[in-house]
């Protein structure tokens, strides 16, 4: 290990939420605090946006990475001491200090949505439950343990704790760490922080988990449904709306959800179909959103119930009140996801929307007729349907920006068409070859 921090990784997200970076050398600093004074950190660097998915066309490709020193930390795995910082994207020539954000910078979009939709000291805080599988190099499960199994059956336990320690070192607070229900499926719950920081954390978490696992010759997948017929990987998001020191989802008189909380839920349900295109953006995502593996399928809410889309977990103090959105998976771009959630929830609050009755029964046990008589609708069944919903939803479109939504839909529609029009699966072969 070199003695001083010699490099800074300038990190950013492509339109699909994948972490990208350019590395620049710096003067040499003993600590992160000392590095904060290095002019290299203020200057950033330039970038060919046309080579990154969704960022820019070739004619307008010159972009600038403008570091946001609010999230600056030292990488726990690089051979030379290297710091990492999340960046905003600007068009080259735009003033780096101006508030103007580039329309295809998803981090910038979340920043703008927070400023414009959350007045005064309001902020959306998010807690996440990322689920993932440890897999071998030949794509098999790394262990055959199940829910809450520990040593010796959970062979991945050491790597799991190594990931948990690495994320703690850079400021994330793991709450509960456990083996999930599926074979080799794991989860590290990360405690509440502001939505922008949490989106940064999600990109960082995935990168750390994959890098540390690879160093132990295993792989990590966040794929929503890596194995047929087994539990999928969700990224449940617990949401709280704060105004200064008050959690607006709680009520002073005890442990009930506030009216603001109910309106926020009504907004989430109203825009649930469009949000799905962002929260579940892969072909594979829709193989997770099926009955009986605790992933949501129907646009419903309820208290404690794990079969609904929006769950209100039991809480004892008003400041703990939260709303859990259970649909997202880790293929989502979290900046766009939180921007869409804020726009939807605030639409519910500003327009005094009321949610339908909460459901307490197992929704999957209802017949189609029962669901119809209760006016319970389904989430989009596939990526193609979800993209159509996103195109139609004016509230979400306005929040994310027309240019962003059009670009996103174009990229994702191509992905959907590639799958539906050209891929021949083993299932089709077995089903039809001798029809």
The site for ligand GLU (CB under 6 A) is made up of 131, 231-232, 234, 288, 293-295, 306, 326
Q: Which is nearer to ligand GLU, 258 or 300 (CB)?
A: 300
Q: How far is the CB of 174 from ligand GLU (least distance, A)?
A: 15
Q: Which is nearer to ligand GLU, 81 or 288 (CB)?
A: 288
Q: Do 339 and 346 contact (CB within 8 A), yes or no?
A: no
Closest CA to 156 of 184, 119, 115, 195: 184
Provide the angle, in degrees to the nearest 10, between the axes of the packed helices 402-422 and 272-279: 70
Q: Which is nearer to ligand GLU, 113 or 237 (CB)?
A: 237
Q: Which is nearer to ligand GLU, 200 or 329 (CB)?
A: 329
Look-up: residue for tokens 């209760």? 374
Looking at beta carbons, which residue is closest to ligand GLU?
Answer: 234
Q: How far is the CB of 228 from ligand GLU (least distance, A)?
A: 14
Binding mask 164-203 for Mg ion (x = CB under 5 A): -----------------------x----------------
Q: How far is the CB of 353 from ligand GLU (least distance, A)?
A: 26
Q: Which is nearer to Mg ion, 147 or 429 (CB)?
A: 147
294 binds, among Mg ion, ligand GLU, none (CB under 5 to 8 A by kind): ligand GLU
Q: How far is the CB of 263 from ligand GLU (least distance, A)?
A: 25
Q: How far is the CB of 201 from ligand GLU (least distance, A)?
A: 19
287 binds, among Mg ion, ligand GLU, none (CB under 5 to 8 A by kind): none
DSSP string, 11-71: EEE-TTS-EEEEEEEEEEESSHHHHTT-HHHHH-EEEEGGGSTTT--GGG-EEEEEEEEEE
Looking at beta carbons, which residue is closest to Mg ion?
Answer: 187
Give the H/E segment covering residue 243. strand 235-243
| Strand-by-strand arrangement of the 45-48 sheet | 19-29, 5-13, 82-91, 62-74, 45-48
Q: How far is the CB of 156 from ligand GLU (least distance, A)?
A: 17
Q: Do 254 and 246 contact (CB within 8 A), yes or no?
A: no
CA angle 343, 222, 51 (to 5 degrees): 75
Structure tokens at 160: 């799991």
156 binds, among ligand GLU, Mg ion, none (CB under 5 to 8 A by kind): none
> Could you give the CA distance from residue 103 to residue 421 in angstroms, rounded to a whole number?
31
232 binds, among Mg ion, ligand GLU, none (CB under 5 to 8 A by kind): ligand GLU
Q: Which is nearer to ligand GLU, 217 or 228 (CB)?
A: 228
Q: Alpha-carbon torsion 289, 291, 297, 300, what sign?
A: negative
388 binds, among Mg ion, ligand GLU, none (CB under 5 to 8 A by kind): none
Q: Which is nearer to ligand GLU, 102 or 222 (CB)?
A: 222
Classify strands 301-303 and 310-312 as parallel, antiparallel or unpaired. parallel
Q: How far is the CB of 182 from Mg ion (least distance, A)?
A: 10
Q: Which is nearer to ligand GLU, 127 or 326 (CB)?
A: 326
Structure tokens at 209: 């988990």
Give the H/E segment covering residue 196. helix 195-215
Q: Which residues of 131-143 are buried (b: 16+ CB within 10 A; e: fewer)?
A: bbbbbeeeeebbb
288 binds, among ligand GLU, Mg ion, none (CB under 5 to 8 A by kind): ligand GLU
Q: Which is nearer to ligand GLU, 278 or 399 (CB)?
A: 278
Closest CA to 298 of 327, 263, 277: 327
Q: How far is the CB of 129 from Mg ion (least distance, A)?
A: 5
Biggest CA–CA distance in the chain, Å, is: 70
295 binds, among ligand GLU, Mg ion, none (CB under 5 to 8 A by kind): ligand GLU
As to burial, measured by CB atoms within 10 angstroms (0-12 exposed, 13-18 middle, 19+ buried), residue 415 is middle
Q: How far is the CB of 103 from ligand GLU (least distance, A)?
A: 32
Footprint of Mg ion (CB under 5 A): 187
């Amino acid at each position: 290990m070199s003695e001083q921090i010699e490099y800074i990784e300038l990190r950013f997200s492509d339109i699909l939420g994948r972490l990208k970076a350019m590395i620049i050398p710096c003067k040499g600093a003993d600590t992160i605090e000392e590095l904060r004074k290095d002019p290299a950190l203020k200057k950033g660097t330039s970038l060919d946006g046309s080579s990154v998915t969704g960022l820019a066309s070739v004619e307008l490709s010159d972009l600038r990475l403008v570091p946001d020193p609010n999230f600056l930390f030292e990488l726990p795995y690089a051979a030379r001491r290297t710091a990492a910082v999340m960046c905003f994207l600007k068009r080259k020539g735009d003033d780096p200090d101006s508030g103007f954000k580039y329309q295809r910078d998803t981090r910038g979009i979340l920043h703008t949505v927070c400023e414009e939709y959350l007045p005064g000291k309001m902020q959306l805080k998010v807690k996440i439950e990322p689920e993932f599988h440890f897999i071998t190099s030949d794509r098999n499960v790394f262990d055959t343990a199940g829910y809450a199994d520990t040593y010796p059956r959970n062979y991945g336990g050491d790597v799991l704790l190594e990931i948990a320690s690495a994320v703690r070192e850079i400021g994330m607070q793991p709450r509960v760490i456990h083996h999930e229900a599926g074979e080799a499926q794991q989860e590290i719950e990360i405690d509440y922080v502001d939505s922008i920081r949490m989106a940064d954390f999600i990109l960082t978490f995935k990168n750390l988990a994959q890098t540390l696992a690879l160093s132990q010759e295993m792989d990590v997948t966040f794929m929503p449904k890596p194995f047929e017929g087994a539990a999928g990987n969700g990224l449940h998001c617990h949401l709280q709306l704060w105004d200064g020191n008050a959690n607006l989802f709680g009520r002073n008189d005890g442990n009930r959800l506030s009216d603001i909380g109910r309106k926020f839920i009504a907004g989430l349900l109203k825009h649930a179909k469009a949000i799905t295109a962002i929260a579940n953006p892969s072909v594979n995502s829709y193989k997770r959103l099926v009955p009986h593996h605790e992933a949501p399928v129907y646009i419903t809410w309820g208290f404690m119930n794990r079969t609904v889309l929006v769950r209100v977990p039991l809480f004892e103090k008003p400041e703990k009140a939260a709303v859990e959105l259970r649909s997202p998976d880790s293929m989502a771009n979290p900046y766009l996801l939180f921007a869409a959630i804020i726009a939807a929830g605030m639409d519910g609050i500003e327009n005094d929307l009321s949610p339908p009755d909460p459901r307490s029964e197992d929704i999957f046990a209802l017949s189609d007729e029962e669901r119809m008589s209760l006016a319970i609708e389904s989430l989009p069944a596939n990526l193609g349907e979800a993209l159509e919903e996103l195109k139609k939803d004016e509230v979400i479109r306005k929040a994310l920006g027309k240019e962003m939504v059009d670009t996103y839909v174009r990229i994702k529609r191509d992905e959907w068409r590639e799958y539906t029009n050209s891929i021949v699966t083993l299932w089709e072969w077995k089903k039809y070859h001798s029809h």
